[in-house]
Amino acid sequence: MSAFYRIPPSHLHQFVQAIWLHAGSSAEESRLVADHLVAANLAGHDSHGVGMIPSYMNSLDQGFLQLNQHPTLVKDAGAVITLHGHNGFGQVAAHEAMQQGIERAAKLGIAAVGLHHSHHIGRIGHWAEQCAAAGFVSFHFVNVMGDPMVAPFNGSDRRFGTNPFCAIFPRRDAKPLLLDFATSGIAFGKTRVAWNKGQQVAPGYLIDNQGQPTTEPGVMHQAPYGSLMPFGLHKGYALATMCEILGGALSGGRTTHDATLVSSHDAIFNCMTTIIVNPEAFDAPAMQEEAEAFLEWVKRSPQSGDAPIQVPGEWEEQNRQERDQEGIPLDSNSWEQICAAARKAGMSEEELAAFRALAQ
């Protein structure tokens, strides 16, 4: 297993911002990318945190990721808007798409936002949290355009992406309830994290290029490639299909098939259909009390083992509290890959040395 460091979140944020400034991003874009990636690590989703930087840098190098783009409104149907992301940073495209959707939902009670041709939008919970911070409930269907990694239920090779689904419910006196996961048994990035750490993944999540079960994360990173499996047998596969169609087709984007396959693993493009709802538009004066009564009720179930009963979103909140105090853990392989990306962006050895001193 490789060594790991604990890096203070504010220092990591400065480093990420500096990397993208060197690469050519505006100050605002660099900040939004740093906000998102560091927040993903703080939430415990290292698969979607700063470890994505080398892949983004490769995508930029290969001409896929476009810097300093803003999504444009291609159709305005009142409560439904469609935005084109122009292959720009998803951290900008999704942020601005949510801003526009929130404005519509504030006026109309409900809004739907189709966002397509955005570079990787990362941890979807971040966009749901943006909606919840404004007081809204939201649902997000996402596909990963043209980058197959997951085998269909009863299939044996990769046909679609890890297509996340996400939903959020703001609570009055607590952090929002947040469901946010890939429809594959594990997110692709978690195989990268395991691979970088020299660890195996648990059984049941991966098959090799022959369709045989394996626990070796390398099958997702070196040819001949294997596949991830959907979570929950036919149920996860069915939800993944709906994320592909509602996220990829309904949004005005593309789904995964022969004509849309992308040649590079670093060129990750997402489409997302988001529904944003003002909870106050319902005639539900006891909504919060009913929600709390349920959560309290489930938590009273006798614990079956050592792990506590949690509600969706609690895991992320616990990570935030711990990592805010203790720093963000990063394995040395990921750290070296990020430093190599910083050099590629044009950071001098002197400036890099100052940031490298942060890893301990």
Would you tell me which residues interact with ligand NAD (CB under 6 A)? 45, 47-48, 120-125, 142, 144, 162, 164, 166, 178-182, 186-187, 190, 270, 310, 312-313, 315-316
Contact call for residues 75 and 81 (beta carbons, < 8 A): yes
Give min distance, CB of 132 to ligand NAD, in A.
Answer: 13
- Closer of 250 and 340 to ligand NAD (Cβ): 250
Integer Cα distance of 195 and 193 in angstroms: 5
Integer Cα distance of 100 and 131 in angstroms: 11
Residue 171's alpha-carbon distances to 105, 177, 294, in angstroms, are 18, 7, 13
Give min distance, CB of 201 to ligand NAD, in A.
Answer: 11
Give min distance, CB of 161 to ligand NAD, in A.
Answer: 6
- Closer of 55 and 162 to ligand NAD (Cβ): 162
Residue 155's alpha-carbon distances to 152, 207, 212, 229, 321, in angstroms, are 5, 10, 11, 9, 41
Give min distance, CB of 125 to ligand NAD, in A.
Answer: 5
Upper half-sphere CA count for residue 350 (Cβ side, 13 Å): 0
- Closer of 190 and 323 to ligand NAD (Cβ): 190
- Closer of 18 and 123 to ligand NAD (Cβ): 123
Give min distance, CB of 316 to ligand NAD, in A.
Answer: 5
- Closer of 48 and 104 to ligand NAD (Cβ): 48
End-to-end CA distance of the chain: 17
Burial class of 343 by CB neighbour count within 10 A (0 to 12, 13 to 18, 19+): middle
Report cis status (omega within 30 of 0) of the bond before 329.
Answer: no
For residue 358, the 8-state DSSP code is: T
Give min distance, CB of 111 to ligand NAD, in A.
Answer: 21
For residue 164, the 8-state DSSP code is: -
Three-state secondary-structure class, residue 75 = strand
The amino acid sitting at 322 is E
Give all strands (DSSP E) within 62-170, no chain letters.
72-76, 80-84, 110-119, 137-144, 165-169
Give min distance, CB of 277 to ligand NAD, in A.
Answer: 19
Give min distance, CB of 182 to ligand NAD, in A.
Answer: 4
- Closer of 3 and 298 to ligand NAD (Cβ): 298
DSSP lists the bridge partners of residue 178 as 168
- Closer of 21 and 125 to ligand NAD (Cβ): 125
* Other beta carbons within 10 Å of 296: 10
Give min distance, CB of 347 to ligand NAD, in A.
Answer: 26
Contact call for residues 254 and 146 (beta carbons, < 8 A): yes
- Closer of 14 and 264 to ligand NAD (Cβ): 264
Integer Cα distance of 86 and 209 in angstroms: 34
- Closer of 96 and 316 to ligand NAD (Cβ): 316
- Closer of 8 and 312 to ligand NAD (Cβ): 312
Copy the structure tokens of residue 276. 């944003």
Give min distance, CB of 10 to ligand NAD, in A.
Answer: 22
